[in-house]
Amino acid sequence: MKKPFILFTLVFLALSANVSAQKVKDVAVASVIENADTNLQPFRIQSDNLGAYRNGTDAVVSRIQSIGDWELSLLSSTRRRAFVDFGDPVNPSDPANGAPANGYYPVRFLAQCPADLRNLAVNNSQNCKMVIAVDVGAERYSIRFGYVAGTTQPLWTCNAAANGKCISWRLATDPSGAGKNAAQLYKITTSRGRNVETPLGKYYFSFGISVANQ
């Protein structure tokens, strides 16, 4: 009577080990934020000129998450920053406009895509919604692309693949149009333990970011 039980246990353990081995993991990537486009026009989101943002270096998080979304976070880094220029409001006369000053800030990018970025074929593209958290001193702001009417989504393109998976991408703002995307800006505050999101108008942003497996 013990042999069937032992056999069942061994089969179960083998299957469990196989599932664990096949579990999709985060992929560490190097993210390069460019400062200008091919016409040397400055981007409104730029790097800190300290080179690529590498996962695990200077407390930077730079990865393709297990679900296939891209994350670049500098929020825990004391060294790395990104330059954010809020100088292009969609409607300059909008009374809701309330952007902070331009400057180098800790930021966190999160691209939320309809399909896993690793499954993009070479030269294929997809638009992804994106959120950029910006810490200005003790204040938190949120730049959101594609979540509300009047905003647009940046474009991801696969540049290279290996073993059937994309390993190199370029993220760009409207590369076939005006070269910029509209986003909704919010200020995030806390009241009675809950986040309060105050809309501060819509702004155009431009950027070019190259991402590749480390």
Angstrom distance (rounded) from CA 13 to CA 18: 9
Token pair of 147 as six digits: 């979540």
Query: Model's pTM, two decimal places?
Result: 0.88
**Whether the predicted pLDDT of 94 surpasses 90:** yes
For 153-198, what is each residue's pLDDT tens digit? 999 999 999 999 999 999 999 987 889 999 999 999 999 989 999 9
Q: How many CB atoms lie within 10 A of CB 34?
A: 17
The DSSP bridge partners found for residue 199 are 186
**Hey, is 199 helix, strand or coil?**
strand
